[in-house]
Structure 1
């Protein structure tokens, strides 16, 4: 620990609840339903751990785990019933506790826990007391035990059903889309050799979701690059609908939201319970900036979606030095940055966080998906290959195996892998 004499005073500020004299609140507090302090109380760690396990594991593993808990509870109640039956044999009918005590107790336990109805073994009824010579007060414990087991069984069945239902909803809410693992950056000739809008003319989806395949623009050698204003580099990734070609596989009102995260390494003094430590040992503060992409909303996403961000003077992904050079160059991309190495050094961010959302046309449920990109996922001087084709019948198909395939941009200049 390193002490600093000029460290500021650090305070711990928490919420304080005012005490109330309401009769209703006092009654609720007696019943363990404190509505004032319930938000500050932590749930059972074991229950939360099981819920997290249930949503992360497979359906088969979840079924086996629920079955094991089901059998464990039945065996525990069966052990208590078997001991009670040995002490008061007349309270349980249909059982031979001299030879098959635990087997009969297990039979009574699982029928009670599952509430399917009693079989050959059941608790004694009122008319049976006189024939067995038993006092009804002796069987009160058996009645209370079986009633408690039936209540626990109903709760457990509802809990298992809720977990499975939530897991099914979680699966349905996952958008069946595939993000490219790579992010490409085209610059210079790779951007000049495009269509009129500055976008690479590969696969284009119109507003109605009808894909058209256009030829890739090529760089014209007769035009000197030094006589042109260098265009801004274009960062690009793509999303493929894995349900393309299936009936009602479209995603309605799809949206892409992209955020860039940065680390704020400004040095500030911090302390832990009065002990001042070196600020370099703390995790840097994370800041987020919105990244503007072209066509961030799609009303009828059917096949392939290209997300493009122009690295201009207002882009949050550029370093301050790169933005300064753009301003000195009258708002255009500087010639000294028009190579793969310079473009790579001009980009700075921690992660790109991509959120995809929409409504499935198949299940009419809201769906979402996420993807994270880091700087190691970027390739400079490359463009995506076409992943759509027409089959023998003329229908447009998407080859999902090509979603990560890239080629060097028009005119060359790709960085070596």
Structure 2
């Protein structure tokens, strides 16, 4: 069998196991990416979730000796929810980003990649392979761009002609030397809608993201959220889709191909108040299978409190009061105190004043003071 024939067989097999797009790229070092990553590091634009060794991120041979080819795969996910629950004054809801709808995509793509690896080794026993999804060293987007899966949009996402940017990406490095595909031409043109719409200005310019300001990153942090970003958060519990939603290429793109990616509306768009009293066990039982749960319940609960403040939901005051009084986590107590100030009135001023006497954590005291100042400055 020639390598050209093997490539055709790999493509055909990939379709049979539910891979929506597949592309082939050389495993040469990503030199331009290295320059960009060094710039990002110097500017302090990294999130901290990335692989810290930049050479590993740009040199496939560091991950697999004698690497010759990288296979990029893409699976399309839904952009619209069937029968979404309404967000009413009686039942305020938060929202998980679309990439966290359905089963955790890491598991879905790893399963596809494992099958692909096994298929390749059966057809070419001499081949060695290494695969990764998202948390691996390589930049999935750089690989997908080189492999012709899509072009790298100004929103820093891979945009495919068929599915827009609503795709999950995975990589498979191999020692086989397979003919590479041709990269797609950038089709963003002069459009800047994603840059203009970014809630925090995290998209510094086309293709450059300050991760420290990106709401998708901010929703995953575990500490107090900086004041300037709390209003920007809205009712987002995990991630942000704004730069995808405004993209003209994404208009009308809504793939319902994989049943395991279909969202449970009560999980993708959950009621906010019940989130605040969930135990670790109940949180894992309900949300543990989605990618947005990977940081645990604390960031989600903190974001839920901010969302209730966003809605000025007076129904949440009893549970917020209980959190300020009894929750052992300073971030939750403090954020709840601030939210009480946003939602409450003079009655809550008395509550927060009393809480100052018993609170010992400095940061929580600062949040109580913020809440009091907000109440003071309201005109009733």
TM-score normalised by length of structure 2: 0.21
- Quick check: which one's helix share is greater? 2
Work out which structure has the larger RCO, using CA pairs closer than 8 Å and 6 or more positions apart in sequence: 2
TM-score normalised by length of structure 1: 0.20
Larger Rg: 1
